[in-house]
A and B are shown apart, each in its own frame.
Chain A
């Protein structure tokens, strides 16, 4: 029972971490390696809003999400737009930006165990005989709600539909007056917003530490590669696969095997099925 309950929680956690990354990649083919940095930055922004500006807790959370979204959009507008279409340069540039943000935070004094965000709700609950604190239930609720909202957004909203069009056939979208740079900015905003959202619901479970930024990036990449780059359904399934395997290793082996599972998942996927569970192999199709 513990495995089931914590497996689900862990899986939704992973899905939340990866959603922003897979969204940006799916829409604009941009591997945003600054994803982990944006995650951590949101934590510190929210912390500053609460502790320095003494803002109301919920307001601080929402504001920090918007600020992170804007940072993401700015990263695209100022830097990534110049290396668009060159996958290697995109990775190097976005990773460098992420590195600069994370190490800048560390240099600026944001390190150690002193930074925490308050939980949304205190207390715990018995589910199927397992003690679960309410914040973890919140994570699952937020995760499910976000996935639902994203689905609605991409199926009924004008911008959402345009984003999906861009993901499927950029040139055809261009012909209908959809601007690719504007859509990429929107995708980066949304992706960063989602990274931030993952941060504000997950960070209260522990301390805000700079190193977590790298872990989040690795988890996001693992989920996306196993699920197939750019596929949202694949990412969610992969999150459940990796999530449950991680919990199993925690229960039966040891807790610090979690990251090993993620890395092994990347390697195994790349050897057995490089396109992932639901990879579209777009470029290959185009060449044929």
Chain B
């Protein structure tokens, strides 16, 4: 349903993504694990179309020359040339690294902004859903996004992305910098989003352990290349992978 083939991204002459291909089936949770600078965020930006925008801006400002190659298919259609807003309309929504909450807007406003593409019925239903899975946000409704804790911001970021009615939700390091308790809670919520709403998810993480229980299939990214892939069990059976990414 969602498939990337032979993605290559160059920043000037630096190869950031090297021939990466990945697949995500309907209602599947796919993990992408890799260390810092392995190309996780570049991959997410490329899948969501943000890379197109960065490329355009860099070119206009005379900055870095970015080269993009490869194809991204969504339901059989090549969407590589689409702008981020067009991809978002198709249901491909990125929830970015470091959350990028709108700091001067309240929690409720952040969520409403997330519902920019949704109609009023969807907005109401999704708002209820977000407050059900993240009850911690309810008393914070009118607080400005910048005054939330890291865990609350992450809940808000996921909620905001849900408001955009995603079919494929790209979560870029959603558990980064959070306590183990919050990590476990978020992992459960993420699984719930898949189970209850049938959303497909692609999740990147540096450290795979907290999301391992919920992923169906995973890729290991090293220096921009997908060096290994397999089901959760296959990866866990590999001693090198276990030592490097799972810490087991």
Is A249 at the interface (CB under 8 A from chain B)?
no
Q: Which of B50, B103, B113 contacts A161 (CB 8 A)?
A: B113
Q: Taking CB as reference atom, which chain B residue is nearest A155?
A: B109
B50 touches A178 (CB 8 A): no
Is B17 at the interface (CB under 8 A from chain A)?
no
Q: Enumerate the 4 nearest inter-chain pairs by beta-carbon distance, A residue then B residue, closest first.
A: A177-B88, A172-B100, A179-B85, A177-B117
Of B27-35, B89-97, B193-201, which stretch is located at the interface?
Answer: B89-97
A176 touches B93 (CB 8 A): yes
Beyond A164-B109, A176-B164, 18 extra complex contacts between A and B, CB < 8 Å? A84-B57, A158-B112, A158-B115, A161-B105, A162-B113, A165-B102, A168-B102, A168-B105, A169-B102, A171-B50, A171-B100, A174-B50, A175-B88, A175-B100, A176-B117, A176-B163, A177-B164, A179-B85
Closest Cβ–Cβ distance, residue A101 to chain B (whole Å): 25
A176 touches B61 (CB 8 A): no
B85 touches A177 (CB 8 A): yes
A168 touches B103 (CB 8 A): yes
Closest Cβ–Cβ distance, residue B72 to chain A (whole Å): 16
Closest Cβ–Cβ distance, residue B119 to chain A (whole Å): 10
Sampled A-B contacts (22; CB under 8 Å): A85-B60, A85-B61, A158-B112, A161-B105, A164-B102, A165-B105, A168-B104, A169-B102, A171-B50, A171-B96, A174-B50, A174-B84, A175-B48, A175-B84, A175-B100, A176-B116, A176-B160, A176-B163, A177-B84, A177-B89, A178-B85, A178-B116
Is A288 at the interface (CB under 8 A from chain B)?
no
Q: Which of B60, B83, B103, B113 contacts A176 (CB 8 A)?
A: B113
B contact residues vs A (CB 8 Å cutoff):
48, 50, 53, 57, 60-61, 83-85, 88-89, 93-96, 100-105, 109, 112-117, 160-161, 163-164
Bound form: Cα–Cα A178–B85 in Å: 6
Bound form: Cα–Cα A162–B117 in Å: 10
Closest Cβ–Cβ distance, residue A260 to chain B (whole Å): 35
Q: Which of A83, A158, A169 contacts B100 (CB 8 A)?
A: A169
* CB-CB contacts below 8 Å: A201-230 with B: none
Is A53 at the interface (CB under 8 A from chain B)?
no
B94 touches A175 (CB 8 A): yes
- Taking CB atoms, residues of chain A closer than 8 Å to B84 are 174-175, 177
Known contacts A176-B116, A176-B160, A176-B164: A161-B96 contact under CB 8 Å = no
Q: Which of A158, A162, A171, A172 has the most CB of B within 10 A?
A: A172
Closest Cβ–Cβ distance, residue A237 to chain B (whole Å): 17
Is A71 at the interface (CB under 8 A from chain B)?
no
Known contacts A84-B60, A177-B85: A162-B100 contact under CB 8 Å = no
A 145-166 binary contact with B (CB < 8 Å = 1; else 0): 0000000000100100110110
Bound form: Cα–Cα A85–B55 in Å: 13
